[in-house]
Amino acid sequence: MAESYSKKEFNKKKLEKQKEKEKRREERKLNNDKGKDLTEMFLYVDENGRLTETKPTENRTSEVELSDIQLGAAPIEAEKTQKTGIITFLNEEKEFGFITSSNGGENLFFHLSNCANPVKKGNKVTFEVIKSPKGFAAVEIQLVK
């Protein structure tokens, strides 16, 4: 009986897979690490933190003062509490307004009860920022002279 085209293709693919499998087997035999000595498999770390195969010859150590070593988490530097800005909106009937911060350009809500002096729209003021239930707000507002 004659072989059909699909049978021929199937047999070709089968032979090709067997050849690839044989190639991989030969590569594994050539690249075998099982017979190596333990010292050949070691890697060393140099003074720059890179891995090398050569053993370091010099023992370079540098003296570090104990006061330079920081224990624990890095200290948090406190932000400057007093910020400056300009009053961009003021509603005197409802007693609130908004201040645009001069350094970041953020709009902060404020209530007139937090102002030490009477203020107007366009006044330059100093203030402190607090977290309110609806976002950030300005408190302890004073006019800049």
- Tens of pLDDT, residues 54-68: 887 766 667 888 888
What integer best gives the mean pLDDT of the chain?
Answer: 85
User: Which domains, and CATH codes, for the chain?
Assistant: 83-143 (2.40.50.140)
Contact 111, 130 (CB under 8 A): no
Report which of 126, 67, 62 is spatially closest to residue 99, judged by C-alpha positions: 126
Q: What's the pTM?
A: 0.44
Give residue 24's pLDDT: 94
**Distance (Å, whole) CA 106 – CA 99:** 8
Contact 129, 108 (CB under 8 A): yes
pLDDT band at 1 (very low <50, low <70, confident <90, very high): low
Structure tokens at 82: 């007093």
- Tens of pLDDT, residues 68-123: 888 888 777 766 678 889 899 898 889 899 998 887 778 889 999 888 888 888 88
Alpha carbons within 13 angstroms on the beta-carbon side of residue 106 total 12
Give residue 64's pLDDT: 81
State the sign of the Cα–Cα–Cα–Cα dihedral 60, 64, 68, 73. Answer: positive
